[in-house]
Amino acid sequence: SLTAFSVFKKKSNEVEVWFPRHISDLDRCSKCITKYEPTTDPRHPGHGDEEYIARRKFLNDQALEFQFGDEIENVDYTETEHATWKAVYEKLGDLHESHTCSVYRDNLKVLQEEGVLTSDRIPQMRDVNKFLQKRTGFELRPCSGLLSARDFLASLAFRVFQTTTYLRHHKSPHHSPEPDLIHELLGHVPMFSDPLLAQMSQDIGLMSLGASDENIEKLATVYWFIVEFGLCKEDGKLKAIGAGLLSAYGELIHACSNTPEHRDFDPVVTAVQKYEDDDYQPLYFVADSIHDALAKLRKYASTMDRPFSVIYDPFTKSIETIKSS
Ligand code: NLE
Ligand code: FE2
C-alpha cells in the first residue's frame, strides 16, 4: 500500500509524490517522528518518570487508533492533569492584555463565555470541535505525537489540525519542549477560530500537497515562524499571534521583550531561516497583521513551482488538481 512518502513514476520522466486527495486519506498521514521522547531524552521534563511515560503512551496509543469517521473518544483526564491545565490557564491569563493579539483575546473570550474553555476542567476534543466547526470549519483530529512536516501540513489543507492528547509534565507547566494538549487548546484553538488565520493555515497546507522535499521544508519553516512563533504589532506594541508563544509563559514574555531580534515577516526570507526547537527563539518575525501575513503568503505561493495547481472542494472535502500548461 502507499504511504505519504511513496513516490511513483507516472511517465518515464515524471515523478509524483502521493498526497491525500480526500479528507479520509488523512488516515495514511499519521506517521510520527521521534524527538523529545521522555523514555530516552533527558531534555524531556518527564524523563525518568515511569508513571508519566506510561500515561503519555496510553493516550498516544488511543489517538493512533482514530480513523476518519470515528467519533472522538472522550478522555478521562486525571486530577494531576486538570491541575496542570489550571495552573497554565491561570498564569497565562496575566499576560493576555499586555502580550497577546486582539484576535486571540477576542476568540478566547468567546470560548470562555460559551464554556468551551474553563480553568477547572480540560475540555473534551469533541466539544472544542463543535465550536471550531461553527467558526471556521477547522477540526481537531487526535494524533500520537510530532508528525512529519509533510503529513502535518497535508492535514491543514483539509482544515484538519492534528492534535496531541497527552499533557506536559506537571513539574514543568509553563514550558514544554514538544506540543501537548495545553499548547493545542490554549495556543492554537483560539487562533484557528479566526477566519484569516484559518485560511492562512489551509493555504500553507494546500501549497504543501505534492511539493518537493525542499519546498516542504520551506513551508514548515514559514508555518513555524508565523503560526507557532509569529508576532504582530498592535498600537505600537509587539503582540503574539503564534501558538507556541501563546501557550508558554516565559517565552511569551521573552518574545515581546527587547532581548531577541525582531524582523519583518517576509515569506521569502522567513522560509529559509534556521530555527531553534529546544529553547526560546533568538529571532522572531513580526507581521503587520494576520491579514498582511496572509496577503504576503499568497504572493509567495505564486512563486513556488509545481507542475499542477490544486483546488479544494469544501463540499466533498477533496482536492482536484489541474495540470499547468
Ligand atoms: N513551547 C510550547 C509550550 O510550552 O507550550 C510548545 C511548543 C510547540 C511547538
Ligand atoms: Fe503547535
Q: Is the pLDDT of residue 2 over 50?
A: no
Neighbours of 132 (CB within 10 A): 23
Q: Is the pLDDT of residue 179 over 90?
A: yes
pLDDT at position 31 is 78
Q: What is the mean pLDDT of residues 288-308?
A: 93
* Whether the CB of 179 sits within 6 Å of ligand 1: yes
pLDDT at position 112 is 98
pLDDT at position 277 is 77
Looking at the CA of 162, name the nearest ligand: 2
pLDDT at position 13 is 52
* Whether the CB of 163 sits within 6 Å of ligand 1: no
> Which three-class secondary structure state does DSSP give residue 17?
strand
Residue with the smallest CA separation from ligand 1 atom 2 is: 244
Give the nearest ligand 1 atom to 245 CA: 2
Q: Is the pLDDT of residue 15 over 90?
A: no
* Whether the CB of 151 sits within 6 Å of ligand 1: no
Distance 324 CA to ligand 2 centre (A): 33
* Whether the CB of 248 sits within 6 Å of ligand 1: yes
Say what the ipTM of the complex is.
0.96
Measure the CA–CA gap between 120 and 259, rounded to whole angstroms. 34
Q: Is the pLDDT of residue 35 over 90?
A: no
Q: What is the mean pLDDT of residues 190-204?
A: 97
Q: How far is CA 120 from CA 77, 123, 257, in A?
A: 12, 9, 31
Q: What is the mean pLDDT of residues 40-51?
A: 92
Counting ligand 1 atoms within 8 A of each CB, the residue from 164, 174, 247, 277 with the most, and so the one to mutate, is 247
β-strand pairing of 308-313 with 283-287: unpaired
* Residue with grid cell 502535518, as numbered in its chain: 152
* Whether the CB of 267 sits within 6 Å of ligand 1: no
82-105 pLDDT, tens digit per residue, is: 999 999 999 999 999 999 999 999
pLDDT band at 242 (very low <50, low <70, confident <90, very high): very high
Q: Is the pLDDT of residue 181 over 90?
A: yes
Residue with the smallest CA separation from ligand 1 atom 7 is: 244
266-280 pLDDT, tens digit per residue, is: 999 999 999 877 789
Report the percentage of the chain scoring pLDDT > 90. 86
Q: Is the pLDDT of residue 325 over 80?
A: no
Residue with the smallest CA separation from ligand 1 atom 8 is: 179
- 187: which residues sit within 8 A by CB, 6+ positions away? 242, 243, 244, 245, 246, 247
Q: Is 323 left (phi over 0), alpha (psi -120 to 50) or beta?
A: beta
Give the nearest ligand 1 atom to 176 CA: 4
Instruction: Quickly list DSSP for 117-174.
Output: S-SSSPPPHHHHHHHHHHHTS-EEEE-SSPBPHHHHHHHHTTTEEEE--S---TT-TT
For the entire predicted model, the pTM comes to 0.93
pLDDT at position 252 is 98
pLDDT band at 324 (very low <50, low <70, confident <90, very high): confident
pLDDT at position 278 is 77
Q: Is the pLDDT of residue 135 over 60?
A: yes
Give the nearest ligand 1 atom to 182 CA: 5
